[in-house]
Amino acid sequence: MKTEADYYALFDAYQSGQLPPEEQAALEHRLATEPDLAQQLVDFNELTDTLHGYGRRLTTRRKLRAMQAALDAEQAATEAVLETGHPSMPVMRISRTEQHLREFWSSHRATIAVAASVAILAVFATLLGLEMWRTAQQKPSLYGYTVLRREVERIKRNQRAMNKALTQMDEPRPNEEVNPGKFSGTGFALTTDGYLVTSYHVIQGADSVLIESRDRQRYRAEPVFSDVAHDLAILRITDPKFNGFGRLPYSFKRGLAELGERVYTLGYPREDLVFNDGSLSARSGFEGDTGFYQISIPVNPGNSGGPLLDDRGNLIGIISGRQTDVQSAAFATKSSYLMRLVDSLATAKPAQPYNLPRFNQLTGNTRPQQLRKLQDFVFVVKVYE
């Protein structure tokens, strides 16, 4: 019985070809028929191969170490050995700092680029967002410049639009208790027998017009004539139960009022009659419109169509609108235009003649006395659409 070591000797001899031919043939026959023995041979080969390979590996490692050591020694001798040892790459002499900078740039440029673009995007997004937010905020509260201009152009086109846009006032005063679709303004008597004056924009688009006096008397009225350019409207009371206003205390001024004259108005900006006074600030209106006065009376929505009177009780104008972006600038149609309108209407021989008051009962009275006489001739004009 052979030991494993004996077999190894046999294998060794077999592989180096030292076996006699008959023994070799016998061994090959056994290897072919005995799997255990074949496996032993395979193991033996693997073992010796690994040993040889390991030996070679150690040798190679020693060689490489020696090469590296030689290189290191060379490098210690001359600083630039790495560069001179690299023939395919011409070496550029750069300073230490620049080298660092270059390395930094080459290794971080992608990150830097991304960071920069993110920063730029963020800045623009923020700016844009802020701008949008600001415009969105401003729209309801203030007149933006562009918005104002558009309004102004519209005003140039048409006087009614001016009042609407500039004054906001005139408008639409919703009265919830009766009819939500109702607007209101102020009007005053033109003649004793039922003609009234108000602003055109008050009755603009009206289906029906109702006049309400201070003592809650209501009369149905209808527009007789409108002057869009001067924002004037003349109404006539059609109610059968109406039997005249009585004698009018004021008279209409045909000429121009003086600059600086103390003026006042009565109107219905709310449910009750409201008095306001001020001075005549300019003899022209918005954008130099000569059909209007500029007055320094604080007026509110609902004041439209109210009478403007001077100290002596002459009616000099009809309140029309105000400029929102200017402090205390209201506008009133000049009474001379109203007179011209009435004259032209009178020449057309209307069914009911215009009997304008000739005498002024207010001159010389104190302001409260004037108001007491005046208050019955100022009305709420209610408009249903």
Distance of alpha carbon 74 from alpha carbon 80, whole angstroms = 9
Q: Which of 178, 220, 183 has the alpha carbon at shortest distance from 202?
A: 183
Least distance from other proteins to the Cβ atom of residue 68, Å: 6
Closest to other proteins by CB, 23 or 72:
72
Least distance from other proteins to the Cβ atom of residue 65, Å: 7
The contact set with other proteins (CB under 8 A) reads: 3-6, 8-9, 12, 43-44, 47-48, 50-58, 60-61, 63-65, 67-68, 70-71, 82-87, 89, 103, 106-107
Distance of alpha carbon 356 from alpha carbon 362, whole angstroms = 16
Least distance from other proteins to the Cβ atom of residue 46, Å: 9
Please check whether residue 300 is in contact with residue 218, taking contact to mean a CB–CB distance below 8 angstroms. no
Closest to other proteins by CB, 70 or 101:
70
Closest to other proteins by CB, 48 or 336:
48
Least distance from other proteins to the Cβ atom of residue 22, Å: 22
Question: Would you list the DSSP string of 37-102?
Answer: HHHHHHHHHHHHHHHHHHHHHHHHHHHHHHHHHHHHHHHHH-TTHHHHT-TTSPPP---HHHHHHH
Closest to other proteins by CB, 110 or 351:
110
> Residue 104 forms beta bridges with which residues?
none
Structure tokens at 100: 């660092």
Closest to other proteins by CB, 89 or 136:
89
Least distance from other proteins to the Cβ atom of residue 50, Å: 5
Distance of alpha carbon 156 from alpha carbon 125, whole angstroms = 39
